[in-house]
Amino acid sequence: MGRKIEELGLSGEKDNFIRARPSEGWPVMVWFHGGDFNTGTPAIWDASIFVSKQKILVVTVAYRLNILGFFTTADGESPGNYGLLDQIAALNWIKDNIELFDGSSSNIIIYGHSSGAISVGLHMMSPLSRGKFAKAIAMSGDAISSVRMPQEEMTVIDEVADKFGCYRNTDDLMECLRNVEIDTLIRETADIETWGPIVDADTNNWTGGPFLPKHPRDMVQANEIYAVPLVAGFTSNEQALSYIESIGSENVDGRLPMHQFESLIREESSAAVIAPEENSTCELKPELVTDAVLFYYRPYPPTKDPKHLRDRFLDLQTEKNYAAGLTQLADKVSSHSTRAQAFVYRFDYRARTQAVTRDVPDWAGVPHMFELPFVWGLPYATGTNIQWNAADKKMTDLMMTMLATFARTGNPSISTIKWEPFSDKDPGILIIERNIEMSDSSAVDYKALAFWNEYYPNVLNAAINNCCNATNAVSAWRLIEMRSTSFVLVLLLSALRLLDDRRLV
């Protein structure tokens, strides 16, 4: 992938690269691209600059996407997770052959962004991936909360069957789909937004067993992870670009009135309350979830400032969908083994080069993907009309050096930056801005992370498991056994207020 070193005017670097090869071989970084498991390609980013400057081998992996990579019939007829099995096949090939390219088979680092980062996290949990890599880097993708159960795919199966006029019976459905022209199959299902991994314990028919025998949340809680040195991080305003797209161009400053603020949160929170089985008679109580989330994110003291409400809504998106899961995984890695350390960052640096950010308003801050130009060294790219600011070149030097140092040693600290490991007792996060330094207690809302990781799952469980014969004991307070809905609400909200006094120590 990418342009040849000679095309970049770096042929001298090529000679130095060959002469400087360490005896154990070069570190090997294996990139899984993003794209919501629906789109994307390894060719989006050119690794030539990073490779030539950091002396690291980079392998970019293609894997099946959308219906080809993640369709499941929720049984053994089409088990799902094909794209992840493609990634394992790539890791097997790299492990067996990378020494032919002067790479180190014992120092393979998997890394990725967005759905690529979700893939990285899942490989740290899958028994099929054990021993195939030595380190991991997950950027802006939470594996813990991004996996569905097979029963959640029923609506997708129905939609696919309807689109192509197929019988719903899985044998007939698969035979029908195999007769559809491949381009038509992909085009007609591209608008389905839920393609992705599932827990395939009950659907897999592979001789090697399931890719995910349990839900990632359960595996993390039980410390059933492949604990390797980890770098994990997110940007300060992950969902800002999606928010801008959703509100329309006429709302130039993204104002969010109170009624829309509450409506968006209620709609999103209610959607998470899904019956545990397709024909379940459980009484769902989404108001438990919506009230808890609104309680936490509604500003106190009260305000109707639409800009402040906008920022609170975007805080929710970053904390729930990225920061909480990534820090939880980092915590489990650091507590699982004394041999593996985890390092967490928050990328707050907004490019100083005007051509790069001019279409993104200042209030949007640093959205999803805004760290990637610095990871890949774009400020040094030739053949472009963009004149990058000197500060941006300095930032890309630092980002590339920290990641390459981690690939070599398992610790991303460099001579000018001391990056402290993340742990439950000392949950430090490196804030990457013009001045790069470890966070103080006010820089990160640790209480929000505790809300999503510790409190919210109990509330969600209480909202779902209201069944006459329910025996699920996930909730620490056994809320599902209580008969009075009003009493449940009072108890939940009282416990939530206690988070004000809670500190991670």
**Catalytic residue ranges:** 114
Cα separation, 194 vs 72, in Å, equals: 12
Longest C-alpha distance within the chain, in Å?
A: 75
Phi-psi region of 389 (alpha: psi -120 to 50; beta: other; left: phi over 0): beta
CA 463 remoteness from chain centre: 25
Six-digit token string for 29: 């970084």
Length of the chain: 505
Cα separation, 258 vs 282, in Å, equals: 32
Strands 430-432 and 103-113: unpaired
CB 319 within 8 A of CB 326: no
Q: What are phi and psi of 125, to 5 degrees?
A: -110, -30
Q: Which residue has the tokens 């592979």?
A: 206
Q: C-alpha distances in angstroms, 101 versus 21, 241, 376, 403, 426?
A: 11, 40, 21, 21, 40
Cα separation, 104 vs 505, in Å, equals: 39
| Beta strands, E only, 283-414 | 342-347
For the chain, helix (H) and strand (E) counts, in that order, are 20, 8
Cα separation, 48 vs 26, in Å, equals: 15
